Amino acid sequence: MMPSPLTIPALLARSVRDFGDRDYVVSPTERLSYADAERLSAVVARRLLFNGVGKGTRVGLFFPNGVEWIVWWLAVSRIGALAVPLSTMYPPAELAKVVRLADVALVVGPVEVLGIDVAERFESAFPTLVGQRAGRLAVIEAPYLRSIVLTGGTDRAWVTRLSEEQVPGDVLSAVEAEVSPADLAVMVHTSGSTADPKGVLHTHGTLVRQTSGWPVAVRAVTGNTGAVRILCAMPFFWIGGLLAATGALHEPVTVLVLPRLDAEAALDLIERERATGLVGWPAFTQRLREHPSFADRDLRSAPMLRDGPLDIAMTDVPDGYPVHRTMSETAGGFAYTEMRIVDEEGRAVPDGTVGELLVRGVGVMAGYNKRERAETFDADGWYHTGDRVYRRQGDPRLFYVGRTSELIKAAGANVSPLEVEAVVEQFPDVAQCVVVGIDDPDRGEQVCAAVVPAAGDVDLTDLAARVRTQLSSYKVPTRWVIVTADQLPVLPSGKLNRKAVKELIV
């Protein structure tokens, strides 16, 4: 059965009508009901419209998990603009790259994010910003960027202060009526097989469809049949967090959030709000269980947190392989997605046989930003995921075995080896760098870099520090190896043999 309605503004309106007084998002310091979310986002939406932001405008959201992210995301979605969530882990160089690649016109953020001075971060990312004035921005590093809004006070001349004036409420209603399921709603960036992050584009229809089953899935993995209050330990700027933010609009599910993942703060929030479970990566669940206070905590409301598997994808699995997790390319679900599992020749495989997952249909992304359709989908419309999966007879779930590509899965996050290699190889003391994923019991895989020095030795500690200024922390290699060029194995074709590199390092 197709969920209805199929746009974010219509879905929000229905949630307010059906359960508006229920808690939607709760942080350690704030509480937002569905009705609050509608009211506050309406004010922002009307101000954005008055200031010329409208359908198709690409708006970057630079907020940590919290009420402010939700309000601005809803406001942007309600007027048909394209939300571009920006990772608060981006160092300046990466922030500039993503804003440029996404053709962002407006960036919005607070004055401080997790101890970071946001104005300073933006000036480091966009050096030509300094000395410019609001309303006249012409930034070489991101040529479509015209406005930057900070939600707190600042003395920077380049910061735009949205006019307090708003369009009338009936204009907002008219605008929302023009937002269609076919309109682009969000661009989520994920690492892939290229050096640059890929911008995954989803329409309102796909986002609403693919998140409609989230409340049921959460109940299943937490073993809860009553009211659901779930700690979301994944950032809203990635698909796992976006899945929670949107999924909770379908049914009354309270999403508990933290601006940063701190084990003690998480346990405090779980206890205080009587959370029924947690959605996040196994490494964070392990941090909770290792916290000195864990044994003394009252976790009766969330029994799976104490006694269940570290990885919720391992709940009730028959063969030791996890249930396939969310995909950025399918907005977190597979319910409205046509699927095939094929062998290397593209032939369908029977139940119980491992093959590559292919997907297509209304549940799949509209495409990658700045990629033609033929670069993303095959002639029959299939997207080749690179994921190796299988199914069991009579079981609708997909079980995940690994990947056909070289993409590294580190603590639940995708890391492109090419992206990391491009950063490491820019330094003059590095002649060559090969990045591979090494199996790790806690993180799934470690990012490992094999480095060929340009001359003499390379100070790996110093090299890691330099890389850390260019990449998000989860992309920075946690294992470094010095090798000679002759030690790097190649295939008969002359191409690098990455599998052999992994074996060499191990």
Residue type, 342: V
Predicted confidence (pLDDT) per residue in 336-381, tens digit:
999 999 998 999 999 999 899 999 999 999 999 999 999 999 999 9
Both tokens of 479, joined, read 């294992």
Side chain identity, residue 442: D
Both structure tokens of 185? 């709603």
> Could you tell me if residue 393 is left (phi over 0), alpha (psi between -120 and 50 degrees) or otherwise beta?
beta
Least confident interval from 137-141, 296-300, 430-434? 430-434
Residue 163: pLDDT over 90:
no
What are the pLDDT digits (tens) for 55-70? 999 999 999 999 999 9
pLDDT the model gives residue 127? 96
Q: What is the mean pLDDT of residues 441-470?
A: 89
- Tell me the whole-structure pTM to 2 decimals: 0.86
pLDDT band at residue 164 using 50, 70 and 90 as cut-offs = confident
pLDDT band, very low/low/confident/very high, at 138 (cuts 50, 70, 90): very high
Region 167-188: what's the mean pLDDT?
A: 97
370-413 confidence digits (pLDDT tens): 999 999 999 999 999 988 899 999 998 999 887 777 778 887 77
Q: What is the pLDDT of residues 80-96, one digit of tens each?
A: 999 999 999 999 999 99
Reported as a single tens digit per residue, the pLDDT across 101-123 is 999 999 999 999 989 999 999 99
Give the per-residue pLDDT at 495: 65
194 — pLDDT class (breaks 50, 70, 90): low
Lookup: tokens for 130: 């300094």
User: Is residue 446 within 8 Å of 478, Cβ to Cβ?
Assistant: yes
Q: Structure tokens of 323?
A: 């249930």
Least confident of 190-199, 288-297, 421-430: 190-199
Residue 211 has pLDDT above 80, yes or no: yes
| Domains by residue range for the chain, with CATH | 34-179 (3.40.50.980), 409-505 (3.30.300.30)
Which of 72-81, 143-152, 298-307 has the weakest average pLDDT?
A: 298-307
Strands 408-410 and 413-415: antiparallel
pLDDT of residue 427: 92
Split at pLDDT 50, 70, 90, the class of 1 is low
Residues 6+ apart with CB under 8 A from 442: 282, 283, 286, 411
